[in-house]
Amino acid sequence: MSLELAGVGYRYAGAGQPSLLDIDLELPEATVVGLAGASESGKTTLCLVASGLAPRTVGGRIRGTIRLDGEDVDAWPMHRLAERIGIGFQNPATQLSQVADTVFEEVAFGPMNVGLPRDEVIQRTWDALDALRIADLAERDPRRLSGGQQQLVATAGLLAMRPTHLVLDEPTAQLDPAGTRLVADAIARLAAAGASILVAEQKTDLLAEVASRVVVLDAGRIVRDGPADEVLADPALPELGVAPPSAVRLRRAASAAGIDEAVLGTLDG
């Protein structure tokens, strides 16, 4: 169940220049792919295109092909794609449906929309809440939760659709450290359980933790695509506007200060 973008380009409505060019990206099963790049490099646009929101909801023009499990999804309406690819955004509060009084109903919103039988809706809702370990929040009012909790509720809402792929656009960008930790742990658990995730992040530490592969964008094009530890240790990252993960920076600072690699190796643990 892989998601493939081939030769994909995208231009926003009324924009002079395309925001994405020549994107060739494969997102196979059970892989967490990290997406890094300076702000305005096209990370969000790539997430929108991969999930189908661009051009369906957002307008604009696209070229190239997007295939889900080999099938071209160009003619699929948004609600059909929504069942296969879930996309989460930065702002936890604006992802709430605004019609649910409890977390349970909030998470059930998606399955209810697509008309699944009631038992199925309930089962999927509990499963999603359990997967993110927030079943104890089921009765709470989603508007009264912390940012991190709301982000988990939003993600549960996506999981309840049982998508084959999850696209997360900077899920921790608007969260405090506690919230970031909450969400990062959740993503790590999902990854360990075999989920297929594309996560865009400025916080490369997070990518180092959960991603097995990292893709770097620069001015709308892919400039790096490889195993996470290789790409994240690439010395060209800062020029591309990406701050390397702290482990990498620590190693570099240490070796610049003359501390032996072997010593550091024992600390890595």
Partner 1 sequence: MLVRWIAAVVGFVVVVAVGIVMAGGIPQSGEADPVTFAFQAVADVLALVLGVALLVGIVIYLVLERIQTGTNASVTSQFTTRTLILMPIAIALNIILGQTVAAALKVPIYLDSIGTILVGVLAGPLAGAATGFLANVLWAYVIPPPFQYPPAAAFAIVAAVIGLLAGTAGGLGLLRPRVGRPTGQLVIGGAITALVIGVLAYVGYLGYTAILGPTNLTPSSDNAIFVVLGWIALALVVVTVVGLFALLVLRRDLTSTYVVVTGMVTGIVAALISAPIAAGVFGGVTGAGTDFLVAAFRQGGADIGAATLGQGLISDPIDKITTFFVVYLVISAMARRTTARFPQGERLLDQEAAVTDEPGEWRGATT
Partner 2 sequence: MAGSDHLSELHVTGRDVPAFVGRPGPSAFHRLNPLTKATLATVTAVAAVVLGGLIGPAILVAVAVIGPAIAAGVLGRLVRTALLLSLPIAISAFLVNLFFLPGAETVLLRIGPITATAEGLAFALEILARIVAISGAVTLFYLTTRPSDLVVDLERRGVSPRVAFVASASVQTVPAMVERAGQITAAQRARGLDTEGSVWRRVRGILPIVGPVILGSIAEVEERTMALEARGFTRPGRRTLLWAPSDSTAQGLMRRGLLLGLLALIVLRITGVWP
Among 28, 39, 40, 57, binds partner 1 (CB under 8 A): 57
**CA 180 – CA 72 distance, rounded (Å):** 35
Amino acid at position 96, single letter: L
Q: Give the CA distances from residue 37 to residues 99, 123, 196, 247, in Å, rounded to whole numbers and listed in that order.
A: 35, 38, 20, 18
- Using CB under 8 A as the binding rule, whether residue 40 contacts partner 2 is answered as no
Residue 243 tokens read as 């701050």
Among 1, 6, 122, 240, binds partner 2 (CB under 8 A): 122
**Buried-exposed string 137-151: b where 16+ CB fall within 10 A, e elsewhere:** bbebebeebebbbbb
53-82: contacts with partner 2 (CB under 8 A):
53, 56-58, 77-79, 82
Q: How many CB atoms lie within 10 A of CB 90?
A: 17
- Using CB under 8 A as the binding rule, whether residue 42 contacts partner 1 is answered as no
CB 207 within 8 A of CB 219: no
- Using CB under 8 A as the binding rule, whether residue 87 contacts partner 2 is answered as yes
CB 34 within 8 A of CB 237: no
Sole window of 52-60, 85-93, 173-181, 213-221 interacting with partner 1 (rule: CB under 8 A): 52-60
- Using CB under 8 A as the binding rule, whether residue 12 contacts partner 1 is answered as yes
Element (H, E) at 46: helix 43-51
Nearer to partner 2, 70 or 117 (CB): 117
Nearer to partner 2, 10 or 109 (CB): 109
Q: Which positions touch partner 2 (CB under 8 A)?
A: 48, 51, 53, 56-58, 77-79, 82-83, 86-87, 89, 91, 94-95, 97-99, 101-102, 104-105, 108-119, 121-123, 138-139, 143, 154, 157-158, 161
> Where does this chain bind partner 1 (CB under 8 A)?
9, 11-16, 18, 55-63, 74-78, 98
